[in-house]
């Protein structure tokens, strides 16, 4: 079976998190419906977003990891959603790139663990462009820096929801993100003193072109999954 095309859509801060979540669900259900009718050649989708400030809590997460009040969230103009991905709590906002692959894994392989590892590898490869060495920590998903040191720093969080082997949600890579927003949560529910959150700009000591990072991520998706037909929605 040939690899289907990939439709890439960039979504800015003029769309709130709930709108994008609904779009993901619509696209996922569309792919599932197509499969049930015997159509396996429908395009996959890659949504590339910059959300307004929002905290999202995965289905197995602990709301106690949101360590601020609803009044404080309102004062900071930050929203909060309980959603259907895996993982615990994280932050999305300006200066970050949040990437949602709506992929039918029947086109590739039926292996959720491999899918998560390949998303991590896409980010690791993109970071290498900036001479930043991304790593994995066996017990935790996502991409880390200095994973073997007492100063472990998470630069990318990952959370996936899968239905009938069609994915939604994805990963969030901190580029020029205001890391102060992570002070309102226990990121990913990890409350270890030797683990913190970082961004590309924090590591380099300068602002980074977000569109350049997006271009690297798209190129890595093309290589990793073998897409030959890309279009922009």
Beta-bridged to residue 203, according to DSSP, are none
Active-site residue identified among 126, 185, 188, 218: 188
Helix (H) or strand (E) holding 167: strand 166-174
Cα 156 to Cα 144: distance, rounded to the nearest angstrom: 7
Respond yes or no: is residue 188 known to be catalytic: yes
Helix (H) or strand (E) holding 213: helix 210-225
Token digits of residue 157: 């969080």
Placement of tokens 């991409």 in the chain:
143
Would you tell me the crossing angle of helices 112-128 and 210-225 to the nearest 10 degrees?
Answer: 140
Residues belonging to the active site: 188
């Amino acid at each position: 079976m040939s690899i289907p095309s990939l439709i890439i859509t960039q979504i800015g801060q003029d769309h709130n998190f709930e709108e994008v979540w609904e779009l993901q669900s619509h696209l996922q259900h569309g792919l599932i419906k197509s499969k049930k009718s015997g159509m396996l050649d429908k395009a996959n989708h890659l949504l590339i977003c910059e959300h307004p400030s929002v905290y999202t809590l995965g289905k197995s997460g602990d709301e106690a990891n949101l360590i601020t009040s609803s009044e404080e969230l309102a004062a900071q103009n930050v929203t909060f959603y309980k959603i259907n991905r895996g993982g615990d709590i994280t932050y999305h906002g300006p200066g970050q790139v949040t990437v949602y692959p709506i992929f039918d894994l029947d086109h590739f392989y039926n292996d959720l663990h491999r899918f998560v590892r390949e998303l991590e590898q896409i980010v690791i490869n993109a970071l290498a462009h900036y001479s930043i060495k991304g790593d994995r920590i066996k017990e935790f998903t996502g991409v880390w820096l200095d994973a073997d040191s007492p100063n472990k720093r998470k630069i990318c969080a990952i959370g996936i929801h899968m239905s009938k082997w069609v994915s939604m949600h994805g990963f969030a890579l901190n580029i020029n993100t205001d890391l102060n927003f992570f002070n309102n949560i226990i990121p990913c529910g990890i409350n270890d003193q030797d683990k913190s959150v970082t961004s590309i700009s924090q590591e380099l000591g300068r602002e980074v072109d977000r569109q350049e990072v997006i271009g690297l991520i798209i190129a890595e998706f093309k290589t990793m999954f073998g897409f030959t037909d890309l279009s922009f929605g």
